[in-house]
Copies of this chain bind each other. A is one copy, B any other.
Amino acid sequence: MTINQLEVFCAVAARRSFSLAAKAVNLSQPAVSLQVQSLEEHYGTRLFDRSVNSISLTPMGEILYQHARNILSIWEQADREIRDHIGSMEGEVMVGASTTVGQYVLPRVIGNFQRKFPLAVVRLQVKNTAEIIRLLTENILDLGLLEASVDNKKLACDALTTDRIVLIIGTEHPWAGREYVVAAELRGEPLILREPGSGTRRVVERALRDANLRMEDFGRVMELGSTEAIKTAVESGLGIAFVSQWAVRKELQLGSLKVIPVRDLLIERSFCVAYPRQKFKSRMAEEFVSFAKKQV
C-alpha cells in the first residue's frame, strides 16, 4: 500500500468527490477510482458509499480516514524533520579539482550543494591532477574532481559525466560556415595546445595520434597555459584548438567562437570523483560525493 494511495483516499474523503480529488492530486479521475478500489480490495469492503449525487464514507472509510490523516501528517513531519536536519548539518569538505572541472563544472555543483547544506564549508583547491591525487592519498583532501579516472588502490573513483573535447575556431575562420570537417583537413592548420601535463592536452594528443595526425602535421603549434588564454587566442584568429565543451558554453552563446565537429574524431573522457576508499573523514564529505554524482 502506498502513502500516495492514502493521500488520494483522503483527498476523496475530504471533498466527497472523485473528480474534485483527481484535480486536487493531479491525477485522472479513473486513476483516483482505481487507487480507492485498490484500498477497498485490500480491506475487503467498501470505503465509500457511491450514491450518485454525493459520495460518503462508510463506517470503515471513516475509521481509515482518521488513521490515514494521522499517517500522512506523521509522514510529512518526518519529511520536514529530515530536511531540517539536512539543512542544519555542519561540516567542512576539502575538495580538490583539476583545472577544467574546477573552473567550469565545480562552481555550479558547489552552489547547489551550499543551497542544500547552507552550513557546510566547502574548501576548494584547484591543482593539476597529479597534485590532487597526492593530496587525496595523504588524506588532506576529502575528495577530488578530476578530468580522467585514476587507478590507485587507495582511491575509489566514480564517473560523474562524460566530457566531450570539441574543436573550436574563430568566427573569421574559413571553416566558419561548414557543418563539419574531417580529421585529414586539420593538416597544416595552426594548432593551439595546453601545456604538457594538462589532462586535456594528454587526451587530445592521444586522439590525434589515433587519427594518424602528428604535431608536425600542423602549422604553427602554440602552447598556452590556460584554457581562457586559448579561447582568446582562437577568437583572435591565431589558430584552432581543442577544449572541453564545458569551457566554451558562454562563448558559443555569445557567438565569439564556433564549434566544428570533426566527423571522424570523437574525443570523450569522463569527469570523475575520487575519494579515499576508507571511511570518509566527515559525513559532509560523503554527502558531497553522493550529491556530486547526482548532478549528472
Q: Which residue on chain B has the smallest CB distance to residue A68? A: B78
| Copies, count | 2
A82 contacts B3, C-beta separation under 8 Å = no
Count of chain A residues with a beta carbon within 8 Å of a chain B beta carbon: 37
A91 to B105, CA, bound (A): 70
B4 contacts A51, C-beta separation under 8 Å = no
A59 to B116, CA, bound (A): 16
A279 contacts B68, C-beta separation under 8 Å = no
Given that A67-B77, A71-B74, A283-B58 are contacting pairs, would A45 and B82 also be in contact in the complex, using a CB cutoff of 8 Å? Answer: yes
Q: Which residue on chain B has the smallest CB distance to residue A64? A: B78
Which chain A residues numbered 67 to 84 have a C-beta less than 8 Å away from chain B? 67-68, 70-71, 74-75, 77-79, 81-83
Most buried by B among A58, A63, A290: A63
* Interface class of chain A by DSSP: helix
Most buried by B among A67, A116, A291: A67
A211 to chain B, nearest CB (A): 41
Most buried by B among A58, A78, A294: A78
A188 to B74, CA, bound (A): 76
A44 contacts B81, C-beta separation under 8 Å = no
Q: Is A31 an interface residue (CB 8 A)?
A: no
Most buried by B among A45, A60, A67: A45
A70 to B74, CA, bound (A): 8
Residue in B2, B44, B66, B116 whose CB lies within 8 Å of A1: B2
New A-B pairs, 13, CB < 8 Å, besides A3-B3, A74-B74: A1-B2, A1-B75, A2-B2, A2-B3, A44-B116, A45-B82, A45-B86, A51-B279, A60-B86, A66-B78, A67-B74, A71-B74, A71-B75
Instruction: Give 9 closest A-B pairs by Cβ, nearest first.
Output: A67-B78, A1-B3, A60-B82, A63-B81, A71-B71, A67-B74, A70-B74, A43-B82, A71-B74
Q: Which residues of A are in contact with B by a Cβ distance under 8 Å?
A: 1-4, 43-46, 51, 58-60, 63-64, 66-68, 70-71, 74-75, 77-79, 81-83, 85-86, 116, 279, 283, 286-287, 290-291, 294
